[in-house]
Structure 1
Amino acid sequence: MRKKILGAALLLAGAAWAGGASAQGVPISVLAGNCVGCHGIDGVSAGPATPSIAGMSRVYFVNAMLSYKYGKDKAKIEAAARSLKIDPDDVEGHERLATVMDRMAKGYSDEEIGLLADYFVGKRHVSAIQPFDAALAAKGKRVHDDACEKCHENGGRKGDGSGMLAGQWMPYLKHAITDFNGGHRDMPKKMRAKMKELNDKDFEALVNFYASQK
């Protein structure tokens, strides 16, 4: 009987590792389960104030999590990036506005952050179903093409080190823009320069454009 129990335990452990697990043996499904409450099943957000993280850039995901975890400690962020096979030059290391996320990130090892990144990168992004203003969306496309496309490629769908904007909830996008403009969230110099060129009407148009993207 004891042999049967041991055999079953080994089979379960093997299944966990096959699906991805941390050095402590925590299956990726358990690690990712902590994210579901806010970011939705498979990283597809059902809450308008929370971004979807399914299908986002691995570099961006890791950058965000390390920034939440280590704040402005660039040395620790760069060391963690190297351990996850990410070029430290691709990790901005900007401190993020303190939320529940900084406490969550501190609970993960660097290795587990890498596993989470791989997990959510492999999930399919699903755009939020929400109303938008078509005329504003058309204007927003022009603003995006001029100011944002270089980093947020393919209409905001993906950029290697940039966040996914297409199909995100409008309230989340508005909150993010407010945080950037209010100095509550750091941003790269090139983004700061572009943001200064835009006004409130441009931002409203951008939000409608991203909401229109499927």
Structure 2
Amino acid sequence: MRIAAPMLAFGLLAAPPALAQAPDAALLAGSCQGCHGATGEGGHGIPSIKQQQTRAEFVAAMRAFRANERPSTVMGRITRGYTDAEIAALAVHFGKPE
């Protein structure tokens, strides 16, 4: 049994790192629902984000919010929490196909 512990430790150290998973767009979209509605339809002064822009336009808008290059009330703060991969996943979820 004395050999088993070092072998186990070596096996754990030699294990490959976990692969990064693609962002779950449906899960990410849940954070948009509070303001933009369950399907992104908007309402009550909040714009619709459901297929109003192409995916590229959606990404550009989100990046502009994140960089404080586009005026907003809260979107600048919200988008700073998203990675480029997460913004791309949201674009696929909400944007119009190119």
Q: TM-score, normalised by structure 2?
A: 0.69
Q: Are 1:63 and 2:60 counterparts?
A: yes
CA distance in 1, matches of 2:28, 2:70: 22
Q: Are 1:35 and 2:18 counterparts?
A: no
The corresponding residue for 1:113 is 87
- Offset, 1:97: 1.4
CA distance in 1, matches of 2:83, 2:32: 15
- Offset, 1:98: 3.8
Aligned residue-pair number:
77
Greater CA radius of gyration, 1 or 2?
Answer: 2
**RMSD of aligned C-alpha atoms?**
2.0
- Percent identity among equivalent residues? 43
Equivalent position amino acid for 1:54 in 2: K
- Offset, 1:119: 0.7
Equivalent position amino acid for 2:49 in 1: I
The corresponding residue for 1:51 is 47
SS in 2 for 1:118: helix
CA gap 1:97/1:60 in 2 versus in 1, 3 angstroms: same
Counting helix residues as a fraction of each chain, which structure ranks higher?
Answer: 1
The corresponding residue for 1:100 is 74
- Offset, 1:57: 1.3
Deviations 1:68-100 (A, max 9, x none): 1123xxxxxxxxxxxxxxxxxxxxxxx111421
What runs of 5+ residues in structure 1 fail to find an aligned partner?
1-16, 72-94, 123-159, 161-214
The structure with higher relative contact order (CA 8 Å, sep 6+) is 2
- Offset, 1:106: 0.3
- Offset, 1:65: 0.3
Deviations 1:142-191 (A, max 9, x none): xxxxxxxxxxxxxxxxxx7xxxxxxxxxxxxxxxxxxxxxxxxxxxxxxx
Equivalent position amino acid for 1:119 in 2: H
What runs of 5+ residues in structure 2 fail to find an aligned partner?
1-20
SS in 1 for 2:34: helix
SS in 2 for 1:104: helix
After TM superposition, list the pairs within 5 Å mapping 1:161-180 onto structure 2. Answer: none
CA distance in 1, matches of 2:59, 2:26: 18
